[in-house]
Amino acid sequence: MKYSMSKTFLLGFGFFGVSVIWSVYNAFVPVFLADRYLMAAGFIGVFMTLDNIASMFIQPVIGAWSDRLRTRIGRRMPFILVGAPLAAVAFILLPLSTSMWLFFLAAVLLLLSMAVWRTPVVALMPDITPSPYRSQANGIINLMGGLGAIIAFLGGASLYDMNPAYPFYLGAGLVLVGAVLVFLFIREPKIESGAEQPEAKKGDGGSKSALRDILKNLAIVFTSKEKSALMILLAIFFWFIAYNGIEAFFTLYGQNHLNMTASDAARLLGQLSLPFVLFAIPSGYLGAAIGRKRTIMAGVALMTIGVAAMYLLPVETLVISLTKLPVLGNVPVVGAIMMGLGVAWSLININSLPMVVDMTDDDHIGTYTGLYYFFSTLAAILGPITYGVMVQLFGNRYDLVMLISPIFFFAAFVFMSFVRRGEAKKQTAS
């Protein structure tokens, strides 16, 4: 198996489609719920966690199922060809719904269909990429995902002003284009027939077998004498709690602590996102050059320091304007910190999935991809809830978000220090 950068870019269109869908969903569905259906903020918060709840339970099972499946077009492709079109249809139906119940049903169809194909499309990256190049390939995949988010936010905002349904049409169209490109240009490697193949072909409970497989591998992770897989999964859990807590409350932090407008606070999040996208590919090459563990731990350390600085520095210092940049606009001190956090987050995010999948063999890549998403999604559910309770307990002090997060980042750093496996494997001649 040879590494092909061009194929990785083409595969990235699948993740591009996923990113467009979720970016449009997160940006505009809360507006529909509040303005069209007059839903209270608390219920909107619950509604917006449904995608993470669905993903947490479905994606690991789908990942394990795709490991077992054998078809003429591959083991991942059937999930993509079913899930992507269903997601596009559901996404179009969302803005066209005339009642809350229809909106809810369309959202449920979207969440289920997205959960069906996200893990298989991500698992395709290590399937077609030799171990030594997986960090670089993941950088390309995340670059494409970041471009999808930028197009969704910038293009979607303009389209929304024309017609609230247009961003959803854009997302549906792009996700179909991405799926078609993956199907046409990506060929899955041949998997040797094994003892489990007949069971997968019969269709007599493939999902049940997959559930048993994921539970078996989860038990192995927890009971194995060598704890590297457990340590990195716990590290992933803690750094995603920290990151998701910041993301969920950053706008309110900007409004209530920095005395900014909501739009200026949201713009600061863009000042994190763009450096993440720009540094996605270099982060992969850095992980290959100095080691994935070292790169991740450097990123976690930088996140800890940067977020702590936002708590320790006085507001008067944080809001000092440093410069104006194209696309990013005005960059205050806190914006410069956010740009540094974007680079640090790329060091972590680009190299962690390759570490996880290189702790197993090629037959269980989907299963371990599912475990990665289980722990990160569980954190995405618990993070905002934990932060919300803490902020409320201390009298709506949103600056405490920047005190709580370094604690979780430090915990992730400690767990990562115990990881002993997951570096790139030596490539064998094919």
Whether residues 52 and 173 share a domain: the answer is: yes
Two structure tokens written together for 112: 């289920």
21 with 113, same domain: the answer is yes
Same domain assignment for residues 247 and 325: yes
Q: Does residue 294 share a domain with residue 359?
A: yes
Residue with tokens 């450097």: 298
Of the three residues 165, 185, 205, the one that is the final residue of a domain is 185
CA distance 420 to 291: 11
Helices and strands: H and E segment counts in the chain: 17, 2
Could you give the dihedral angle defined by the CA atoms of residues 26, 28, 34 and 35, in that order, rounded to the nearest 10 degrees? 180
Any domain includes 411: yes
Last residue of a domain, one of 159, 185, 211: 185
Q: Is residue 284 part of a domain?
A: yes
Residue 425 resides in a domain: no
Structure confidence at residue 415 (pLDDT): 97
Q: Which residues contact 109 (CB under 8 A, 6 or more apart)?
A: 86, 89, 90, 93
The mean pLDDT of 280-289, rounded to a whole number, is: 91
Query: How do residues 139-157 score in pLDDT, each as one tens digit?
Result: 898 889 888 877 876 677 7
Q: Is 195 exposed, middle or buried (0-12, 13-18, 19+ CB in 10 A)?
A: exposed
* Same domain (yes/no): 108, 246: no
Strand partners, 321: 332
Predicted model pTM? 0.75
Q: Which residue has the higher pLDDT, 377 or 90?
A: 90
Let me know whether 327 and 402 are in one domain.
yes
Looking at the domain assignment, is residue 162 inside a domain?
yes
In a domain, 215, yes or no: no
CA distances from 110 to 36, 45, 114, 291 (A): 19, 18, 6, 38
User: Is the pLDDT assigned to residue 325 strictly greater than 90?
Assistant: no
**Which range is most confident: 62-66, 256-260, 304-308?**
304-308
- Report the number of distinct structural domains present in the chain: 2
Answer yes or no: do 242 and 159 share one domain: no
Are residues 251 and 134 both part of a single domain? no
Q: C-alpha dihedral over 102, 154, 30, 399, to 10 degrees? A: 160
Q: Do 167 and 89 fall into the same domain?
A: yes
- The CATH number of residue 242's host domain is 1.20.1250.20
Domain boundary pick from 185, 215, 249: 185
Instruction: Give residue 73's domain range.
Output: 1-185
160 lies in the same domain as 232: no
The structure tokens listed for 294 are: 């070292």
pLDDT tens-digit profile of 197-210? 444 444 445 556 66
pLDDT in tens, 386-428: 888 888 788 878 899 899 999 999 999 999 999 998 888 776 5
